[in-house]
């Protein structure tokens, strides 16, 4: 059985001009999860190798359903909205649960599914050195199909990228992932052999503080102060996000952030733009934020909070501001 590993990562990009050498998949708006089946139990690990099995009791039977002695597979845990489209916001209710009893209860109200798209190890043999086409063949032979797990389709062909992007746009999905047909699986590395093409302006940011709420939010967090890493070190202020929260999520974030409070600002760029009265925290929490555009100084316009990325650390935030910018 393979030891714990980090999943292969895609690089942000555009649809390839020549699409004949690529496979295209819809981009699922969930959390990355590598599953381990050892013949007796299924273990799920997040992108940063946290054991998250207890949070997803409906997936306990996944490994046994494969009919193999052992396996390591890569995929995405998603929660579908009423339209059948993955909703990261809905998934938030399930992501921070450490109690099996609570997780079982929540799974009835907010069911999750495991969308599997790669095979890394199978019946005692590592498959990561095989090209994508061979790994996909193995995945299809496994016939991954159960009450809450499936292997979604991948599309290959001269115009497959354009067609998949059109389907993503009309269906309200996040975008498309393109994978070279000859690509091997390189765990923990961000590769140009896998491309993620997003439809919306949505990125990951690091929380460096918060401002107090007013009105109905008086006494709690009003907005989160966001940052991007600066090339060479430091943090650039990129604005505050104050919409997209539920009261429950605000309370959870406040309990999470209060122990991280520091007296000195973590910001090294755009410091003059930081809101007065900001309570600063250690830059440890990563969040997803959707926005319309940025100003010339890099400040987000119309940002909306989508959720915390418990599967990512500040080191995983790859969008950077130039030094001195």
Q: Which residues are catalytic?
A: 27
Partnered with residue 223 across adjacent β-strands are 211
**H/E stretch holding 101:** helix 100-109
| Cα–Cα distance, 57 to 62 (Å, whole number) | 10
Nearest to 53 by CA among 30, 33, 76: 33
Distances (CA, A) of 25 to 117, 139, 168, 185, 317: 9, 14, 9, 16, 23
66-75 core/surface letters (b: 16 or more CB in 10 A; e: else): beeebbbbbb
Nearest to 224 by CA among 285, 157, 291: 285
What angle separates helix 100-109 from helix 88-95, to the nearest 10 degrees?
160
Partnered with residue 279 across adjacent β-strands are 210
Nearest to 21 by CA among 143, 133, 181: 181
DSSP string, 123-191: TTEE-TTS-HHHHHHHHHHHT-B-SSEE----EESTTHHHHHHHHHHHHT--EEEEEETTPPP-TT-EE
Q: How far out from the chain centre does Cα 307 lie?
A: 10
| Cα–Cα distance, 290 to 174 (Å, whole number) | 11
């Amino acid at each position: 059985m393979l030891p714990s590993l980090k999943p292969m990562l895609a690089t942000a990009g555009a649809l390839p001009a020549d699409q004949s050498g690529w496979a295209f998949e819809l981009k699922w708006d969930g959390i990355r999860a590598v599953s381990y089946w050892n013949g007796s139990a299924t273990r799920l690990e997040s992108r940063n190798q946290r054991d998250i099995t207890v949070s997803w009791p409906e997936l306990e039977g996944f490994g046994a359903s494969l009919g193999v002695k052992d396996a390591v597979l890569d995929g995405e845990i998603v929660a579908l909205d009423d339209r059948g489209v993955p909703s990261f916001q809905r998934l938030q209710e399930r992501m921070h649960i450490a109690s099996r009893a609570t997780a079982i209860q929540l799974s009835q109200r907010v069911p999750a599914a495991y969308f599997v798209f790669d095979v890394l190890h199978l019946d005692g043999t590592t498959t990561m050195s095989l090209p994508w086409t061979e790994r996909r063949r193995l995945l299809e032979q496994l016939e991954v199909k159960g009450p809450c797990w499936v292997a979604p389709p991948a599309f290959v062909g001269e115009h497959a990228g354009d067609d998949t992007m059109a389907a993503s746009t009309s269906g309200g999905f996040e975008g498309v992932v393109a994978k070279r047909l000859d690509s091997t699986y390189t765990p923990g590395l961000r590769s140009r052999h896998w491309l993620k093409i997003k439809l919306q302006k949505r990125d990951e940011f690091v929380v460096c503080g918060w401002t107090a709420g007013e009105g109905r939010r008086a006494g709690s967090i009003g907005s989160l102060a966001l940052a991007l890493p600066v090339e060479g070190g430091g943090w650039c202020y990129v604005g505050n996000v104050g919409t997209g929260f539920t009261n429950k999520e605000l309370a959870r974030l406040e309990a999470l952030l209060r122990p991280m409070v520091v007296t000195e600002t973590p910001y090294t760029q755009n410091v003059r733009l930081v809101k007065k009265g900001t309570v600063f925290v250690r830059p440890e929490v990563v969040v997803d934020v959707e926005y319309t555009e940025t100003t010339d100084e890099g400040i987000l316009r119309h940002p909306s909070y989508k959720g915390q990325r418990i599967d990512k650390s500040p080191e995983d935030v790859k969008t950077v501001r130039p030094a001195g910018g």
